[in-house]
Amino acid sequence: MRNDIGGINFEPITTLREPTELIAHGLASVEDLAGLEKVAARYAVAVTPDVAALIDPDDPFDPIARQYIPSAEELVARPNERPDPIGDDAHSPVSGIVHRYPDRVLFKLVHVCAVYCRFCFRREMVGPGKATALSQGAYDNALAYIRAHPEIWEVILTGGDPLMLSPRRLAKIMADLAGIDHVRIIRIHTRVPVAQAARINAEMVAALKVEGATTWVAVHANHVRELTGKARAACAAMVDAGIPLVSQSVLLRGVNDDIDALEALMRGFVECRIKPYYLHHGDLAPGTSHLRTTLEQGQEIMRRLRGRVSGLCQPDYVVDIPGGHGKASAGPSYLSVENSFSPEREPPRETRYRVVDYCGDVHLYPPES
Ligand code: SF4
């Protein structure tokens, strides 16, 4: 008999997990084998057929490969990088729960994903060799914690990828959570629509809907090519069932850190009825510096995005403050004080601001008469 919350479905036969398999499929070069073996011994590797099919093996700078194919650069950890970059552990009252903000918790159910992203901020916690899911006892404790904290309005299922659970198991978890009166929102963070779209079948969509709480799904994608026909159909199935979708992406060097790529991604989300939500600055996860931009580069690209697309296509560019202090908006500011209110002047002078428009031109507000 299993002693964990279980119900995880893998497709181990077709997912590439070994460097030798990546080489055999033309996704890595044999000269890199020794380095790749070292990376794979430290961090999980998984490339699903959906993702493998997207990679152009002839393009050494392919933005899809960069997200999923390991690189020896991952063995170089910078001094400011850390195993728990966003400080989950500092806010974990019981196993599986992160209670950082008053009205919501993260509920980390599983530690497996369909694919393993090379920039993952939980790369030290997910993948083979770690526990695949919470034990039944830990799950019960986590539910008891949520039940005992009436301020928890939203539960965010994350991990790992919660859609690696079987629909039957997921439906039970959704019902458990929705059965707690004060839990009104259940949000699910997932890469499955991109990485293994076939999992979003009628059973899975039905499992996502539950009486007593509203489900939101946050879809993780970083390049518009990940929004394939299959991925779009999976998202459409959820939206058509009445489940609202939001996006989350990571700003990644060589993947989406140019304005054309980011614009195409955000337009792609909106076309899929996914509201752009978060663009994360790369976290300080070990061995990921080759994929990070600077905050200045992030602000500049956000400034340019503002000039190109409507508010519907604008994500919030955020940085997670190391140590567990939560997210902060890191986007550019469009407003600064030109001069402050001064009651001593005759007549009193009201505060005037400098406002930057979408073209980058500066205006005074209110205008000088
Ligand atoms: S799917 Fe999410 S949790 Fe899993 S490896 Fe990618 S970023 Fe990490």
pLDDT in tens, 66-92: 999 999 999 999 999 999 999 999 999
Q: What is the rounded average pLDDT of the residues 275-284?
A: 98
pLDDT digits (tens, 9 = 90+) for 190-226: 999 999 999 999 999 999 999 999 999 999 999 999 9
Angstrom distance (rounded) from CA 335 to CA 70: 42
Q: What is the rounded average pLDDT of the residues 262-269?
A: 98
- Alpha-carbon separation of residue 23 from 27, 65, 185, 290, 322 (angstroms): 6, 13, 43, 22, 36
283, 304, 313, 317: which is the annotated catalytic residue?
Answer: 283
Q: Report residue 98: phi and psi, to 5°.
A: -120, 115
Question: Ligand 1 within 6 A of 117 CB?
Answer: yes
Is 272 a catalytic site residue? Answer: no
Query: Is the model's pLDDT at 348 over the cut of 90?
Result: no
Q: What confidence tier does 171 reach under pLDDT thresholds 50, 70, 90? A: very high
Question: Ligand 1 within 6 A of 52 CB?
Answer: no
The residue to which tokens 């009104």 are assigned: 184
Query: Is the model's pLDDT at 1 over the cut of 50?
Result: no
Find out whether 168 and 208 touch, Cβ atoms under 8 Å: no
Angstrom distance (rounded) from CA 25 to CA 13: 14
Is 235 a catalytic site residue? Answer: no
Q: Using alpha carbons only, give the angle 369, 311, 228 rounded to the nearest 5 degrees.
A: 160
Q: How high is the pLDDT of residue 350?
A: 83
Q: Which long-range contacts (CB under 8 A, 24 or more apart) does 265-269 make?
A: 265/221, 265/222, 265/223, 265/224, 265/227, 266/305, 266/309, 266/313, 266/314, 266/315, 267/224, 267/309, 267/313, 268/221, 268/224, 268/227, 269/219, 269/221, 269/227, 269/313
Percent of the chain, pLDDT > 90?
A: 89
Is this structure's pTM higher than 0.75?
A: yes
Q: Using alpha carbons only, give the angle 223, 227, 229 rounded to the nearest 5 degrees.
A: 155
Among 152, 234, 154, smallest CA distance to 194 is for 234
Name the more confident of 7 and 337: 337
Ligand 1 pocket test, candidate residues 17, 98, 113, most atoms within 8 A of CB: 113
Q: What confidence tier does 12 reach under pLDDT thresholds 50, 70, 90? A: very low
